[in-house]
Structure 1
Amino acid sequence: MNELKELAVLKGIILGVLLVILFLLWLLLDFTWGRRVHVKGKQNFSHPQRHSNIHIFTSGKDLFEDFFKEIKQAKRHIHVLFYIVKYDQFSKDFLNLLQSKAKNGLEVRLMVDWMGGFRIPYKRIKELRKNGVYFAYSCKPKLPFIFYSLQKRNHRKITVIDGRIGYLGGFNIGKEYIDMDPILHPWRDYHLKLQGEGIQDLQFEFLHDWLAATKVNLLSNKVYFPLTCIGKSRHQFIPTAGFGLEETLTTLIKHAKKSIIIGTPYFIPSPALFETLRSAIKSNINVSIIVPKKADHAFVKEASFPYFRILIKEGAKVFQFQRGFYHSKIVLIDDTVCDIGTANFDRRSLFLNYEMNCLIYEPECIQEIKAKIQEDIDYSTALPAASLAKIKVLESIKEKIAYTLSAFL
């Protein structure tokens, strides 16, 4: 009898192992084929260079005071896309404001990433729609590649008001972004406000994503693309959708002659991007990387350590931001071109997310950004090579786990 029980247990174990293997194999095939279908026939796209007036925000309190003011003054249409909208008091105030504008007769469209907006109750969404707000989720999971589609995120944060004022950057909607989180405050980020001819490109990207989410095509409606002034700052918007970002960043880095500064909350580069940075260091280009001391997600710090270990040894400087949480997405090359937008310096932004970046070329604007980056460095401490040299057993295990999960962190 005992032998029969042992045999049954053994069969159960074998069956369980087989099921796990089959599940992992399905995940691998789903992701691999989903990725192939996603990028098949796709081509990199960038908007032409434009001229707009650009204002830079690094404080969420300052940004959203201005953001709410402009929404209140809107006359015709408000288009908003965020990766995350939570359901704390600040988020409720945001939703209430959009709802009040829709009740007053304005066209209001709110699009939120499916994963990033899961905290909004369905009851609240129904109320928004009932009061005139057009609401849509972006990047909903779908068959046949359900696991791959679950990994895709619309990470863009685009707002266009009356086709004349635009916002783009790293802030989302939640209390932590206005320094009300007890652990992750103050929140340091970069967000742009633009007025000028570049707004048409932000509008195009919003309406393009709206078409993908709702099957409603508004791209040919000229009311959303009014004539705008030509601003003083030369810039260019670069949209990416799980491809193209690696090439953009690689090209920027290869053009560097003196210095490269990267600000990012997550440093998990692709092999090609990592080797490009190493080549820059070998060419006597100063490479500086600013990352947060605090982490807001598990394993993201450990995922970066193997890269930092090599880069610091070869001459790069890595700074850990000490004053709150550092969420910036910025690359400054030689004080001549600056990339600010929604993309992190990690594999999720490179190969999965829908992102939107802005290349800025205007010298005065770049000098302002450089001063803000210097503030970031002033609030940071250099990460010494010695702190990464000796790895404890637990840290080693974390790094191995982080490496395995690096594509999804």
Structure 2
Amino acid sequence: MANEVKVPTLGESVTEATIGEWLKKPGEAVALDEPIASLETDKVAVEVPATVAGVMGEYKAEVGDTVEVGAVIATIEEGSANAGPEDTKERKESKESPAPSPTPAPAASSSDDSKVDPSATLSPAVRRAVLEHGIDPSTVKGTGKDGRLTKEDVLEAAKNKKSGGDASQGQQASGGEAPAAGPGRKVERVKMTRLRQTIAKRLKSAQDTAALLTTFNDVDMSAVIEARSQYKDLFAKKHDIRLGFMSFFAKAACLALKDVPSVNAQIEGDEILYHDFVDLSVAVSAPNGLVVPVVRNIEEMSFSEIELAIANYGKKAKDGTLTMDDMKGGTFTISNGGVFGSLMSTPIINPPQSAVLGLHRIEERPVAVNGEVVIKPMMYIALSYDHRIIDGREAVTALKIIKDAIEDPMRILIDL
């Protein structure tokens, strides 16, 4: 008996997804609740669990297909894994019409069981590595399950390519006709992931809809660096988490948003919604794009609670286990481009929010202090905001409050 596997409910307002990867092949044993497929939604990757135990049947959709909530994407047959894909198909043929459609399984070629169709089996992390390093996945032997490529396989191939071990160069050299272009000039067409498409649409929509403006300031990080240096070991021992810069900036932002509530507000129709809480969206890097999970009621949290929450989201983003609830809402965003070496940027707001704080790298620079030039660890900070709801005076004031709190962390403690 064939049991249908349907696209599960994906979250509020999410009605469709894209097949990102099949985790089980037809004929393989499947345990109850074992993931059989990965779906890419507008915000996160979602695994589809097996509804029953048995043998993986046929795929009803291919990698890259868009499927709606409730749509049947595969079947699971009753039986054991000893019955291969042919047996599964024969059982299905005996129950249905004599001419069923072929199974669109992304299986290996019958002439070479060690290779699989790369376009059908690349995970988001592997696809990103392939693009970054310019590797042709069809030339790399996968070491993952069922011969799938892993990120490590791609990185090793990139290393060999740099050292002159690219097999494709040797093939070109032995050919009878000279190549039209020089070595390394490749163009590869890869479909954008649903998440990347959504990021592109949302950022463009923010530019088209909001009246965006950015104000800048610079911050002397000496006090925070000194505080971290003095208390980092005790903090880590007591709370089992590293004391980072983000908790300081989160707390400083709460002071600013309390004093300048429009920066924590949003437009809804012809009304302005003011929030007496701060649900902080923290931009973190995931294998298939930037995501912004939300730390809720951050104004009530301690430094250790903030650091633990952010670290947990970072791990979930890396593992691809963020949920829709993790991403929902948010009243203000902090994006730290400094971890990638950015000196200055103009971040784009995360609609329907009205402002975003951009952090950048810490760099020792000469500054004037009491008429003397001294070297200080400085950071440029930027506040991008929607000028429809936030006046320039309010934006500058909010950023100045953040600057003052970072340069004198005692302000955070005494709520000044």
Q: Same fold (TM over 0.5)?
A: no
Q: Which has the higher helix share?
A: 1
Higher relative CO (Cα under 8 Å, sequence separation at least 6) belongs to 1
For the aligned pair, the TM-score class normalised by the smaller chain equals under 0.3
Q: TM-score, with normalisation over the residues of structure 2?
A: 0.22
